[in-house]
Amino acid sequence: MYHGTHSACAPFIEKRGFDFGQFYQLLGNPIDTIVKACKSIDYKPDGYAAASGLSPRVGVSFTAHYQSARGYAINNGSERIHGALRAAPLFCTFVENEFLINEKIASLKRVLKEHGEHCPTQRVIEKLSDSALLRKLQQEVDEAKTIIAQFLTHGHPVVYVVRAEKEWLDMETCGGILLSNVECNRIIGRIDYINGIAPESEVFSGTRVY
């Protein structure tokens, strides 16, 4: 089976294996910062859904399809990372735009007027009305994005070939083969794309390798 990632993660993977806890120690906090900021003002830009999927319950994703892992590696080594990097600048642009903020506040007030009091919605309105809080959230998100981007500054897409159990391959769904931990001694190969991967080269063949 295969796992697509970024070469910045390679030293940790090859020493400790494929482990969610390890990934969270590396980038969990900045990704969470971006997700929580978006959620706090009920703003869900492109990338938010992917970034918010970060959870130990999900585990590490593998696939029986090399081409799928290769495509996954394009996304900065993780759809969670890629999602956070897409969501962060959109969040910052949104909170800087007074017109968009006022428009959202007005929309939420119309919802309250139509459906009655709703404490979570009222709290969102209060946060959107607090310019100091918005500036603080913007700074936190921008700092989180910088941490993630710096981690990925030097490196390239990587695909690992991993020795699988037959029952693991039978577990594959559209979300891949989700495992909580796979030891590093199961790594049997590594493909490095030192010049990157052109997105237009991604043509899924559907080939399954055992």
pLDDT digits 0-9 by tens, 145-185: 999 999 888 889 999 999 999 999 998 887 789 888 899 99
Higher pLDDT, 71 or 33: 33
**Cβ of 51: how many Cβ atoms within 10 Å?**
24
Q: Is the pLDDT of residue 206 over 80?
A: no
Q: Which two tokens stand for residue 177?
A: 């083969």
Strands (E) in the chain, as ranges, are 2-6, 18-19, 60-62, 157-162, 177-179, 181-182, 187-192
pLDDT at 112 over 90: yes
* Orientation of helix 29-40 relative to helix 131-151, angle to 10°: 150
Q: Token pair for residue 208?
A: 């399954």
What are the sequence ranges of the domains in the chain? 2-201
Question: Mean pLDDT over residues 47-72, rounded?
Answer: 84
At 209 the pLDDT is 38
Rounded distance, CA 111 to CA 106, Å? 9
Does 71 have pLDDT greater than 90? no
Which amino acid is located at 35 in the chain? V
- 94 band by pLDDT with thresholds 50, 70 and 90: very high
Amino acid sitting at position 144: A
Vertex 94: Cα angle to 92 and 100 (nearest 5)? 160
Query: How far apart, in whole angstroms, are the C-alpha atoms of residue 184 and residue 9?
Result: 13
The band of 56, judged by pLDDT with boundaries at 50, 70 and 90, is low
